[in-house]
Structure 1
Amino acid sequence: MTSVEPTPEPPRRSRGFIIGLTSTLIGLGLLGTGATVTYSRTLPDATRIAPGVKIGETPVGGLTREEAQEKTVAWAREQLAKAVVLTAPVSGKKWAITTGELGGRFELESALDAAWQVGKDDNFFERLYHGNKERGVTLYPEFKFDPAKLDAHLAKVAKAVHKTPKNARAKMEGTGGLVLAEREQKGIELDLAATKAALLKGGNAALADGETAEIVVKEEDPKVTAEDLGKMGTLLSAFTTDYGGSPSNRKANVALAAAKINGLLLGPGETFSYNNTVGPRETEFGWKMAHQYQDGLVVDGVGGGVCQVSTTLYNAVLLADLKVVSRSNHSMPVAYVRPGRDATVSYDSTDFKFQNNTDGPIFVGAKANGETLTFRIYGTKAPERKVLSIYTGERRFNASGGSSVTSYRKVQLPDGTTKTEVIDSSSYRAPATPSKPRR
């Protein structure tokens, strides 16, 4: 759409009178004098745009259509090089993009058509009246842009602005209690809708001239605050395994894995993944070669010993009555827990996961002192169900040399009654040909 700002014309009736009077005087001599009146006003050139016509800020009056097109195309190029600037209100940081990079374009053809048509429909007397007077008409070509490109630019700004909120952190004291280690920090994210509205407040036309706007941000709250941690004084469970007789490399791996989990905060409904938390077991990340199980065999592998960490945590999770999402047993029983209570992991294939199914956040503390590994899980309040014991049934052997065992949990319900639940069944097979390490 092309908008027009014309110069007001005189009323038709008076103009007709003037033109009629002038025309009469042209053809007749003045009465009583014998003199002849001539009218010298030049008629507008029908092969050119009427005088006083602009397209945008570009005068095109008196030009041919081809000349006007050349000038307006140059004007459009200059417009599309103008910058659209977003500014951060506090830091003053700026993000700029040209209107051309936003896919901007002007509807020049319709504007040229409208400019060309000015005065072309006038009758003879109207053309005679206007002559070569300035018309005072300004046409604004419609500006359009690609919304997807604007959204892509805003997404880049959002990424630069975003600050991830930090949860409050706690640590275990030597006595096993919790103390605040670091307070929470709120995050920052771009309010896309509000920023876009601020940028387009003047419409597309304002954007075409190179708009400037402040970005709008909003705070993002952390999931765990210092206040939350202050409420997490309830010890839900604790479990310890011994690794004092392990070689130094295995001890180092156990300590490293425990350190990566220590201080874990898990909000209500969140799921913990051992592999995502501990990460890949490669030498470049500090892991060492140590003994590990590989399909029923003891072999050396990078990260040997991390399964004792996942197993110790698994038992603490069971005692805290948290929901186990994914757990697998080793290919053969381990020495640090009874059969049926182990949890193996392998970064590329087997994970241990559990979910915080309580109403509040939980804190997981780990301590490896070179002799024992202990996990403690804290919550905001004691669970409604109390785990009384975890135990396994009789181990059953098969003809191939493998075995199986079922694990159970005895719980006390809120009404004081008790019941026994099946936790899982584990099958251990006889030694087989090695395939993939389980770390």
Structure 2
Amino acid sequence: MAIKRNTRYRLAGSGSNRTDRPKRKNSNQSEWDYKKIAIFGGGLLIVLICIIIGIRAVIAGVGKGAKKESEAASSTEKILKEQVFVDSIPISGMSKAQARAAILRTYTWNMKVRLSGSSSADGEYTLKNMVEPTVDNLLDQIYSGAAEENYTLKFTGLDNEIAAEVAAMAQKWNVAAKNGSIAGFNKESGEFLYDDEQNGLKIDETKLTQDIKSALESKNFNTVITANSEVITPEITKEQAKAMYKVIGTFTTNTTQNKDRNTNISLAAQAIDGVIIPPGEEFSFNNATGNRTLERGYKPAGAYLDGVLIEEPGGGVCQVSSTLYNAVVFSGLETTERHAHTFEPTYCTPGEDAMVSYDGYAGPDMKFKNNSSTAIAIRAKLVEQKLSVSIVGMPILEEGVKISMESKKISENDDSVIQYEEDDSLPMGESREIKPATKGSRWETKLIKKKGNEVISSEFFHNSTYKGKGPIIKRNTAATAPPKSNQGSAASGNANTSLTAKKASKSSKSSSSSDSETIESRPDGSKTSSSSATRPGETTTKSSSGEPGSSSKHTKDSSGAKTSSAKASSTTQRSQGATETTEETIAPLNPNN
């Protein structure tokens, strides 16, 4: 019998070359798998530990917070077990809040003060509750330690609180007596108007303070206290004021013959004439006069722009501010703003001027404060080229005491620019100096106080720095010399030259006697104004259009008709600093010095 072989199974070792035998794992691969398992397990263990620690910390924090809240609640809700009385009011078995409510139900607060002689609601004042803070302080003491049996509310140590309430009532009811005083000015009649005197009122603060303390000590918290008052009579009546008001400071300067400039001075003087300044208030020259424009009647007059003479509306008003400045200082009033001009003034001593400029928004100003106890007034007028400004008021200085300024030049500088004028009547290439240069200067001003002939004090007031003016030189820089002409033409030319010379001479005389504003341009394009006088002998020629620095020359063309050609007569060389204005502001005047 044949035996059938099962080929599905083979003995180990047979058919060693067959491919279906299970493969053995590599030993290195097994070791790497174990390492990965170990690393993963370690990381997981660390994460679990961190989570456990965090949870425990949160639980601990919550526990501490709950413990604190519990302790706080326990402290707030402390119940008194002992027998405790506050002014015979039992608070045993109560929390602090309950005890507070019980005491305040007994001691209600409605203490008021009424002004004597007043029946209106404005004459009544309700005092701030002073029971509540006293009760709170006592309960803090009772509930913070071992409580005693009996306590008494004591209303001591409230001096500051009572004083604050009395001060509030004094501010509400006290009225200062008003003296008779200047109230206005009638420009038509040229007379001042006066206000009547008025009585004042003052409460008796000392008695009121004592009455409040007595009510607190007696625990009469619903009483109405009367505030006694007295009438305060004014020191000066209206009629007395009329007799007492006088000129306490005045100053006069001379103007020029320049009609337009005098118009500007007159307008500015009219603007400040009759202005009343109440006690403690500040006066501003720019605010009082406003913007100096053609629309408001101001005329173009000599002014300097970067050192060059031009025509500017309002030229000359600085003479008004400077004249006012002197009157203010002499009165003993407190100057709060003052600026020096760019060039030395001629109508007053250098160092004692006050430059102003205004574009309707801002500009250098002249300001002072009424540091007296009564109102003061300004009087200003221009009569026959004399400008006078006065301060009218009651004397500020002690009787017999006078204040003056003493200014001295302390140094000079060469901050000036040469000004050239073309003159084709000169030989080609020739130049001629018609006005020498003037140096700039620095002045120191002192404030002198005298009583009779005795100098009481001499103190530094302020410094002022002024720029110099360069020489004016005429020259002929034409490429060719003037052409020769026949005798008739020469005669005609001589006549024209003579006419031009006469015009220049006339202009020179007018300019030499005129004072000019200085308009300094700023880097932002705005302008500031300062005043300078044209020196004797200084010549300024103008064209028919009024522009400075040019002259008009009339000739005839071939048809015999007249033609006009304007030639530049001056060339100004400016330094880089020519646009900067030198201004120094004084320190406020102390009238007690």
TM-score, structure 2 as length reference = 0.41
Counterpart pick for 1:199 among 193, 212, 228: 212
Equivalent residue, structure 2, for 1:65:
92
Give the drift of 1:182.
Answer: 1.4
Name the SS of the counterpart of 2:348 in structure 1: coil
Native 8 Å contact 1:295 1:434 kept in 2: no
Native 8 Å contact 1:330 1:344 kept in 2: yes
Equivalent residue, structure 1, for 2:466:
428
Q: How does 1:290-439 map to 2 (within 5 A)?
A: 310-317=321-328, 320=330, 322=332, 328-333=338-343, 337-338=347-348, 340=350, 341-344=352-355, 353=368, 363-367=376-380, 374-378=388-392, 384=400, 398-401=413-416, 403-404=440-441, 414=452, 426-429=464-467, 433=522
Distance 1:117 1:409 in 2: 76
1:278 and 2:283 matched: yes
Quote the RMSD (CA, aligned, Å).
Answer: 6.2
Which has the larger displacement, 150-159 or 373-382?
373-382
Name the SS of the counterpart of 1:330 in structure 2: coil
Which has the larger displacement, 93-102 or 172-181?
172-181
Give the drift of 1:83.
Answer: 2.0
Give the drift of 1:181.
Answer: 0.9
Distance 2:211 2:276 in 1: 42
Equivalent residue, structure 1, for 2:169:
157
Distance 2:130 2:390 in 1: 59
Distance 1:317 1:196 in 2: 45
1:80/1:339 CA distance change after superposition, 3 Å: farther
1:84 and 2:111 matched: yes
Deviations 1:303-337 (A, max 9, x none): 9998655422223246x575876774423248793
Native 8 Å contact 1:168 1:225 kept in 2: yes
1:166/1:147 CA distance change after superposition, 3 Å: same
Distance 2:217 2:93 in 1: 27
Q: How does 1:135-284 map to 2 (within 5 A)?
A: 140-143=152-155, 146-170=158-182, 181-206=194-219, 209-217=221-229, 225-226=237-238, 227-233=240-246, 237=250, 239=252, 245=260, 262-264=275-277, 276-278=281-283
Give the drift of 1:356.
Answer: 8.4
1:349/1:224 CA distance change after superposition, 3 Å: farther
Distance 1:185 1:296 in 2: 56
Q: Match of 1:337, as an amino acid?
A: Y
Query: Which structure 1 residue ranges, 5 or more long, are not aligned?
Result: 1-46, 119-138, 267-271
Give the drift of 1:85.
Answer: 1.0
Give the drift of 1:214.
Answer: 2.1
1:237/1:151 CA distance change after superposition, 3 Å: same
Deviations 1:92-138 (A, max 9, x none): 311113425873426358899999858xxxxxxxxxxxxxxxxxxxx
Name the SS of the counterpart of 1:366 in structure 2: strand
Give the drift of 1:188.
Answer: 3.5
Distance 1:154 1:362 in 2: 31
Distance 2:127 2:446 in 1: 63
Distance 1:393 1:293 in 2: 25
Name the SS of the counterpart of 1:185 in structure 2: coil
Name the SS of the counterpart of 2:214 in structure 1: coil
Name the SS of the counterpart of 2:197 in structure 1: coil
Distance 2:189 2:99 in 1: 77
1:258/1:231 CA distance change after superposition, 3 Å: closer
Native 8 Å contact 2:265 2:320 kept in 1: no
Give the drift of 1:400.
Answer: 0.9
Distance 1:355 1:330 in 2: 22
Distance 1:363 1:74 in 2: 61
1:414/1:239 CA distance change after superposition, 3 Å: same
Equivalent residue, structure 2, for 1:105:
135
Give the drift of 1:224.
Answer: 5.4
Distance 1:366 1:85 in 2: 52
Name the SS of the counterpart of 1:163 in structure 2: coil
Native 8 Å contact 2:355 2:364 kept in 1: no
Q: Match of 1:278, as an amino acid?
A: F
1:68/1:351 CA distance change after superposition, 3 Å: same
Q: Match of 2:125, as an amino acid?
A: W
1:231/1:142 CA distance change after superposition, 3 Å: closer
Give the drift of 1:148.
Answer: 3.4
Native 8 Å contact 1:187 1:222 kept in 2: yes
Percent identical residues: 16
Distance 2:131 2:308 in 1: 62
Native 8 Å contact 1:239 1:375 kept in 2: yes
Which has the larger displacement, 86-95 or 66-75?
66-75
Distance 1:297 1:193 in 2: 70
Distance 1:409 1:176 in 2: 37
Equivalent residue, structure 1, for 2:425:
none
Native 8 Å contact 2:284 2:365 kept in 1: no
1:234/1:422 CA distance change after superposition, 3 Å: same
Q: Match of 1:331, as an amino acid?
A: H
Which has the larger displacement, 67-76 or 187-196?
67-76
1:277/1:317 CA distance change after superposition, 3 Å: closer
Equivalent residue, structure 2, for 1:95:
125
Give the drift of 1:428.
Answer: 1.5
Distance 1:372 1:327 in 2: 25
Q: Match of 1:338, as an amino acid?
A: C
